[in-house]
Structure 1
Amino acid sequence: MSKATTSKARILAAATAIAVEHGPKQLTLDNVAKKCGLSKGGLMHHFSSKEALLKSMTENMLHKLEEHGELLKTRHSDALTITNVIRTKKFINEIIGMNEAKILLVAAIENRELLSSVKAAMLEQKEAIMSEPKSEMATLLMLAADGLAFQELLGISPFDENERNQIGDKLIDMAIALEGDLHE
């Protein structure tokens, strides 16, 4: 890994930590530079603006989701896209929690256009789900999984961690059952 790649990763980690621990108002280039031990100029060598930093943070989060989705595809023989989508969301939540997803809230506050890559990824998921059998039920499962995640992201979920895990498992079971229905 190159020095520039390592520096960018360190900057993204520091920016994410600030956004999660202290909120969107504290996500400034000065605060990020201080947290990762760089001068503001050193930080701006990698990210010319707060918007560029947020865009990279959002794309980094999407990349992680895609990587984990691909990993889960190798572990499971899911016949429908929805099963992999729900598995990935649950897996990501178990590994890193909702911290990385809070970047979406910061980006939405800063500039909704920063979410265009997230919207494109969601549209791609929707199109894949809609192109497969059982798309109506799969869409409802996707919306249920998203709703569960959104409640947790906002910190308003009425379910504790154990209950959310059980619901996530049930959604996966329901998606797998849809796959079984394909063979009947």
Structure 2
Amino acid sequence: MRRDELLDAAEDLLSDQGSSALTLSAVAERAGCSKGGLLYHFATKEALIKGMVERLIGEFDELVAAQGHDGYTRNYLDATLAAVRSGRLRRWAVVTGASGSPYLLAPLREAMARWHREGLESEPDPVAARIVRLACEGIWDVASHDPDLYDERHYDELRQRLLDLLPG
């Protein structure tokens, strides 16, 4: 059994049944493997949650890097909107909700600090860049609570208005 398949099973279980259902036995059963197979990759429930958090961070980092703009803030904006439009937010909401521990969320706090500091010194207007990045967090948060609140046209309008804040 591959590590990602186990993480997928854990995320699916969280989405379907909530954090109280997240046990190593339930994840192994959902993944169709033995508990020993799961324990080989994740010795504890905390290690499993940490693995899910770290995977989400890595995927978002890849999404930011894939955008191909010159400025980090533009990449961050488009990566955020891509994540919102793809439905990835549900995964973030259930995983971070399950962690519930400052220790388990430490990698996310560290990533958030990095995402909000990355490339600011090279931005023509660092304050505008911060505003756009903070707006991305707001979009992310609202869309995670009500994914149908905005449609494609709204996201396009928000994107354009936020890009208008950035010089260049």
Common fold: TM-score over 0.5: yes
Matched to 2:106, the amino acid is S
Aligned to 1:105: 97
Output the aligned Cα RMSD.
2.1
After the TM superposition, which of the residue ranges 60-69 and 126-135 deviates more from structure 2? Answer: 126-135
Please, which of 24, 29, 36 is the counterpart of residue 31 of structure 2? 36
Q: Distance in 1 between matches of 2:116 and 2:150?
A: 28
After superposition, what is the alpha-carbon deviation per residue over 1:5-51, rounded to whole angstroms, capped at 9, x for unaligned? x5211100000111122211111111111101112222111100000
**Structure 1 residue 14 and structure 2 residue 2: aligned?**
no
Contact 2:67 2:78 in 1 (8 A): yes
1:3 corresponds to = none
2:159 — aligned with what?
A: 169
Instruction: Give, in angstroms, the shift of residue 59 of structure 1.
Output: 0.7
Q: In the alignment, which of 95, 105, 113 is matched to residue 115 of structure 1? A: 105
Give the CA deviation at 1:159.
Answer: 2.6
Partner of 2:131: 140
CA contact (8 A) 2:10 2:22 kept: yes
2:77–2:159: 8 Å Cα contact kept in structure 1?
Answer: no
User: For 2:127 and 2:152, how far apart are their aligned partners in 1?
Assistant: 28
Structure 2-normalised TM-score? Answer: 0.87
- Hey, what's the Cα distance between the residues in 1 that align with 2:148 and 2:31? 36
Q: Post-superposition shift, 1:167?
A: 4.7
Judging changes above 3 Å, is the alpha-carbon distance between structure 1 residues 115 and 167 closer, same or farther for their aligned structure 2 residues? farther
Aligned to 2:149: 159
> Is the 8 Å Cα contact of residues 59 and 117 (structure 1) preserved in structure 2?
yes
Long gaps (5+) in structure 1? 1-5
Question: Percent identity, aligned pairs only?
Answer: 23
Match of 1:23? 18
Count of residue pairs the alignment pairs up: 166
CA distance change for structure 1 residues 35 and 82 in 2, over 3 Å: closer, same or farther? same
2-side partners of 1:16 and 1:164: how far apart? 29
- TM-score scaled to structure 1, two decimals? 0.80
Give, in angstroms, the shift of residue 119 of structure 1: 1.4
Say if 1:179 and 1:8 are closer, same or farther in 2 by CA, change over 3 A.
same
Secondary structure of 2:2's aligned partner = helix
Contact map agreement 2:14 2:22 (CA 8 A) in 1: yes
